[in-house]
């Protein structure tokens, strides 16, 4: 059995499981198609290994969960953020960080840009600017700069947290 046969035979069942993970989000089918496409683009050795070990379903479910829950995933930027910005009623919870980013005016962005100039390395400044000011996900930055996503996260997150603490303090966002 090859990957196409497995996916064809289990397509509806896997799609239902992704819908369950995404709590029937209006774009869960799009996420499922993206995951299947991503899986089919993987090298044949990787696909064969997943088939042999019986881990295809696990790969799809864990990928769906990561994509749905992460604020830096392509799914978030493609669908959830768009829904939040265009829909008067958004069912998912909004975290404090989301509120700050969404309500960030020009004054706050200028403050963040000036604060970023204080950081010693150009590397740190560039990554944080790409993420906060240009609104790119860690994955997008990783692809663009050919850097490991985990390293980007480890670099950006502490700076972002310090900046958000200063923004909360100065603009009284709670």
What span, in angstroms and rounded, lies between the C-alpha atoms of 156 and 97?
14
CA pair distance 149, 129, nearest whole angstrom: 15
Which token pair is 164? Answer: 């958000």
Summarised one tens digit per residue, pLDDT across range 136-153 is 888 888 888 888 888 888
Torsion sign across C-alpha atoms 46, 51, 53, 58 = positive
CA dist., res. 89 & res. 83, Å (int): 9
Q: Of 129, 137, 134, nearest to 153 (Cα)?
A: 137
Q: What is the pLDDT of residue 92?
A: 42
Using 50, 70 and 90 to split pLDDT, how confident is the model at 105? low
Q: Helices 56-69 and 44-53: crossing angle, nearest 10°?
A: 110
Distances from the Cα of 57 to the Cαs of 29, 69, 90, 118, in angstroms? 16, 18, 29, 47
CA distances from 124 to 26, 79, 115, 119, 166 (A): 36, 28, 12, 7, 18
pLDDT of residue 109: 74
pLDDT recorded at residue 52: 93
Mean pLDDT across the chain: 77
CATH topology for the 96-171 domain:
Arc Repressor Mutant, subunit A (1.10.10)
Would you list the domain boundaries of the chain? Answer: 3-86, 96-171
At residue 81, the pLDDT reads 53
CA distance 111 to 3: 51
Rounded Cα gap, residues 44 and 101, in angstroms: 40
The pLDDT of 100-111, averaged and rounded, is 62
């Amino acid at each position: 059995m090859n990957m196409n046969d497995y996916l064809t035979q289990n397509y509806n069942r896997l799609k239902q499981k992704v819908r369950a993970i995404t709590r029937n989000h209006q774009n869960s089918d799009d996420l499922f198609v993206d995951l299947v496409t991503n899986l089919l683009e993987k090298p044949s050795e990787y696909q064969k290994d997943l088939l042999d070990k019986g881990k295809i379903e696990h790969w799809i479910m864990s990928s769906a969960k990561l994509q749905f829950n992460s604020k830096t995933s392509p799914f978030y930027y493609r669908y959830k953020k768009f829904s939040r910005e265009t829909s008067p009623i958004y069912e998912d919870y909004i975290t404090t960080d989301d509120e700050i980013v969404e309500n960030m005016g020009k004054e706050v962005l200028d403050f963040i840009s000036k604060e970023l100039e204080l950081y010693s390395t150009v590397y740190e400044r560039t990554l944080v600017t790409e993420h906060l000011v240009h609104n790119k996900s860690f994955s997008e930055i990783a692809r663009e700069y050919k850097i490991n996503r985990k390293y980007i996260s480890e670099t950006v997150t502490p700076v972002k947290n310090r900046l958000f603490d200063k923004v909360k303090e100065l603009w009284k966002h709670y």
